[in-house]
C-alpha cells in the first residue's frame, strides 16, 4: 500500500540520503552534492507548494513534490521497477492538486524517464542551456 505523508523536519536525513543516491543522469538542479547544512536550510525554507514522502507499507521509498510553477518531481531510493508506481504517483498528484498543466524537468541523459513521459502523452516544450557568468571565469 502506497501512502503520501507531508515532509517534516524529521525527514531531513532521509531526503539527504535520497539526494545522495541520485545518479548524475537524474540530477537537473545541481552538479555537485550540497553540504548537509545547505540541504537542511533548503528543506526548512519550504521550497515547494507540496512535498511528500512516499511510503510503501511503512517504509520510506521516495519523495514527490509539486512546485509553485506546477513542476512535479519524483525520486525513489531504488529506481528499479518503479515505472508503474511513477505513473500512479504522477496521476495521484495531478488529481490531488489540479492545475491547467503540469511540467516534469528531466535531465536529457535520463533516457528511461524520457521514454516513460513521452509514452504517457507529455510533450517536449524546451531544452534549457546554461552559460556561467564571464566574471566567474
pLDDT tens digit string along 71-125? 999 999 886 767 789 989 999 999 999 999 999 988 888 888 888 888 888 899 9
Cβ-in-10-Å burial (0-12, 13-18, 19+) of 114 comes to middle
Q: Domain 2-136 maps to which CATH number in 3.40.50.150, 1.10.287.130, 3.40.47.10, 3.40.630.30? A: 3.40.630.30
Considering the chain, what is the average pLDDT of its residues? 88
Instruction: Find the length of the chain.
Output: 137
State the pTM of this model. 0.86
Percentage of the chain exceeding pLDDT 70 = 91
Amino acid at each position: 500500500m502506497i501512502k503520501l505523508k507531508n515532509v517534516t523536519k524529521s525527514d531531513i536525513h532521509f531526503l539527504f540520503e535520497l539526494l545522495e543516491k541520485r545518479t548524475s543522469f537524474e540530477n537537473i538542479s545541481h552538479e555537485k552534492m550540497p553540504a548537509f547544512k545547505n540541504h537542511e536550510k533548503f528543506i526548512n525554507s519550504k521550497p515547494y507548494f507540496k512535498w511528500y514522502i512516499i511510503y510503501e507499507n511503512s517504509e520510506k521509498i521516495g519523495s514527490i513534490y509539486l512546485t509553485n510553477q506546477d513542476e512535479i518531481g519524483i525520486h525513489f531510493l531504488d529506481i528499479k521497477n518503479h515505472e508503474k508506481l511513477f505513473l500512479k504517483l504522477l496521476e495521484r498528484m495531478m488529481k490531488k492538486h489540479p492545475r491547467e498543466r503540469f511540467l516534469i524537468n528531466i535531465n536529457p541523459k535520463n533516457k528511461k524517464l524520457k521514454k516513460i513521459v513521452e509514452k504517457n502523452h507529455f510533450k517536449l516544450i524546451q531544452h534549457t542551456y546554461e552559460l556561467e557568468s564571464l566574471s566567474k571565469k
